[in-house]
Amino acid sequence: MAHGERLVFVGDSTTAGGDWSAWFPDDDVVALGRDGDTTASLTERLDEVVAARPDSVVLLIGNEDFIARRTVEQVVRGVESLMVTMRRELPGTRLLLQSILPRTADQAPRIQDANRHLRQFSSTVRAQWLDLWPALADESGEALRPEFTTDGVHLSDEGYRAWVAELLPGLERLRGEPPMSRPLTVLHVPYDID
C-alpha cells in the first residue's frame, strides 16, 4: 500500500472523534470532521476540503441530517451533491464514500434506504463505496452494537477500532485504483438540501 499520501477525513462528530493521525501515521493526515456537520453545513465549508489538496478523501456524512429529521431523499441528494462537487473540484483525487452508520432499530429502515441509494450512486462519480453496516450493527442487523457506542450515536473506543479495521482494507483497495487524470463530466443539478 502506498503511504505518505495526503489523506483527508471529512464528516461530522463521528469523524471528528477519530485519532486519524495515530491510526494512519505513515500518511499526511488532515482531519476535517466537525461536530454537528450535516450535508448542508459541509457544503458550505467544502472549500476547506479542496484547499487541503488531498490524494484521497474519506467521507462519512448524513447522520446529523437524520437527527435533524431530514427525509431520505434530502439526505441522499445532499451527499450526492457533495460528491459531485468534490469530483468536479478534485478530479485527480480518490474518493471513498462510507455508509451512514447504524443507530437505533427504529431508524434502520431510513438509514439503510439512504445507504442503498448512495452505494448505487458512488460509481457515478467514480468513488469507492465502503459498507460499514455489517461490521458495526448488532445481531439484529438494525442497531449499532451496544459495545460500539457511548450514547447510541457516538462511537466508543471499541467502535472506532471496528471502524478502522474495515477502513484499512477499504483504503488499500482505494489506493490500488489510479487517480483520475481528467475531470468527470457530470450534470450540475442544484439540490434543495436545507
Q: How confident is the model at residue 182 (pLDDT cuts 50, 70, 90)?
A: very low
Q: How many whole angstroms separate alpha carbon 91 and alpha carbon 181?
A: 7
Give the count of domains, the chain. Answer: 1
Q: Does 149 fall in a domain? A: yes
In the block, which residue shows the cell 471513498? Answer: 96
pLDDT at residue 1, rounded to an integer: 43
Check whether 165 has a pLDDT greater than 90: yes
Query: For residue 132, which of 45, 62, 28, 42 has the smallest C-alpha distance?
Result: 62
pLDDT at residue 92, rounded to an integer: 92
Q: How confident is the model at residue 3 (pLDDT cuts 50, 70, 90)?
A: low
Q: Does 155 fall in a domain? A: yes
pLDDT at residue 192, rounded to an integer: 54
Q: Does 13 fall in a domain? A: yes
By percentage, how much of the chain surpasses pLDDT 70? 90
Task: Indicate the pTM of the whole model.
Answer: 0.88
pLDDT at residue 177, rounded to an integer: 75
Q: Does 185 fall in a domain? A: no
> pLDDT tens for residues 110-163?
999 999 999 999 999 999 999 999 999 999 999 999 999 988 788 999 999 999
Q: Does 184 fall in a domain? A: no
Sheet holding 128-130, edge to edge: 28-33, 6-11, 56-60, 94-98, 128-130
The CA–CA distances, whole Å, from 184 to 41, 91, 123, 157, 187 equal: 24, 7, 12, 38, 10
Could you tell me if 78 and 191 are in contact, meaning their C-beta atoms sit under 8 angstroms apart? Answer: yes
Q: What is the CATH number of the domain that holds 82?
A: 3.40.50.1110
| φ, ψ of residue 158 in degrees (nearest 5) | -65, -35
Q: Does 85 fall in a domain? A: yes
Q: Does 154 fall in a domain? A: yes
Could you tell me if 145 and 136 are in contact, meaning their C-beta atoms sit under 8 angstroms apart? Answer: yes
Question: For residue 133, what is its C-alpha cell?
Answer: 453496516
Q: For residue 31, what are the domain limits?
A: 6-175
Q: Does 10 fall in a domain? A: yes
Query: What mean pLDDT is predicted for residues 31-44?
Result: 95
Q: How confident is the model at residue 175 (pLDDT cuts 50, 70, 90)?
A: confident
Q: How many whole angstroms separate alpha carbon 145 and alpha carbon 134?
A: 10
Q: Which residues contact 146 (CB under 8 A, 6 or more apart)?
A: 138
Check whether 187 has a pLDDT greater than 70: no
pLDDT at residue 162, rounded to an integer: 96
